[in-house]
């Protein structure tokens, strides 16, 4: 029994060594990643935040929500969740303030006489008063959401990379040799062009 057990282990070791010598890895490079998922499951081996950077982007500063509310309402009347969606869209999801920060800010602006609110289709729609428009016009510098532009571009790059990986993994698993060769050529060329972009930056 002992010889058989030891012999089986020796056979497995020999087979694994032979596979490596022939250039066939025992595991696929995609084995550690099972495709996109939620709560971190199925994500490629990257850290948190845009492009794997831990901490993920800059934080909103004190007063950003107030300034953003005035700037958005200077464009048109909105309700609270519409403003949250606008800020998320304009920063590619990098800055999505919570209702717990937006609605108290709107209430404060209303108390200060800078905005008014009316019920429209069951929701409170906010608009600037004359005093609110004056204060919005006095704002200088870029809009608050523009501070997140760099992080938004970085997040978009990370999203593009993560959306590419499932396609490459699928091709690696089921693609023909010809298809894999074309994809390899494309990826090598893409890598070269990315370095060209870095070199000309």
Given a cut of 80, whether residue 58 has pLDDT beyond it is no
pLDDT digits (tens, 9 = 90+) for 85-131: 999 988 878 888 999 999 999 999 999 999 999 998 888 999 999 99
* Domain 64-145 class in CATH: mainly alpha
For the record, the structure tokens of 8 come out as 């089986």
SS3 state at 108: helix
| Residue 136 CB partners (closer than 8 Å, separation 6+) | 70, 71, 73, 74, 128
Q: What is the 3-state secondary structure (H, E, C) of 159-188?
A: HHHHHHHHHHHHHHHHCCHHHHHHHHHHHH
Q: Give the tokens for residue 51.
A: 């492009």
With a pLDDT cut of 90, the percent of the chain lying above it is: 35
- Asked whether residue 49 carries a pLDDT value surpassing 50, the answer given is no
pTM above 0.75, yes or no: no
């Amino acid at each position: 029994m002992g010889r058989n057990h030891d012999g089986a282990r020796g056979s497995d070791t020999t087979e694994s060594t032979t596979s490596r010598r022939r250039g066939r890895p025992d595991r696929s490079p995609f084995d550690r990643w099972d495709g996109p998922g939620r709560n971190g499951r199925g994500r490629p081996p990257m850290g948190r935040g845009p492009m794997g950077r831990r901490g993920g982007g800059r934080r909103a500063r004190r007063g950003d929500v107030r300034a953003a509310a005035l700037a958005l309402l200077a464009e048109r009347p909105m309700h609270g969740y519409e403003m949250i969606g606008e800020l998320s869209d304009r920063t590619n999801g990098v800055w999505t303030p919570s209702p717990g920060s937006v609605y108290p800010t709107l209430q404060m602006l209303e108390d200060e006489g800078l905005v008014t609110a009316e019920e429209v289709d069951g929701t409170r729609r906010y608009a600037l008063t004359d005093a609110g428009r004056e204060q919005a016009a006095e704002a200088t510098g870029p809009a608050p959401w523009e501070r997140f532009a760099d992080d938004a571009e970085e997040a978009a790059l990370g999203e593009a990379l993560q959306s590419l990986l499932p396609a490459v993994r699928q091709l690696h698993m089921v693609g023909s040799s010809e298809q894999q060769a074309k994809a390899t050529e494309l990826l090598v060329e893409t890598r070269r062009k990315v370095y060209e972009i870095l070199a000309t930056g």
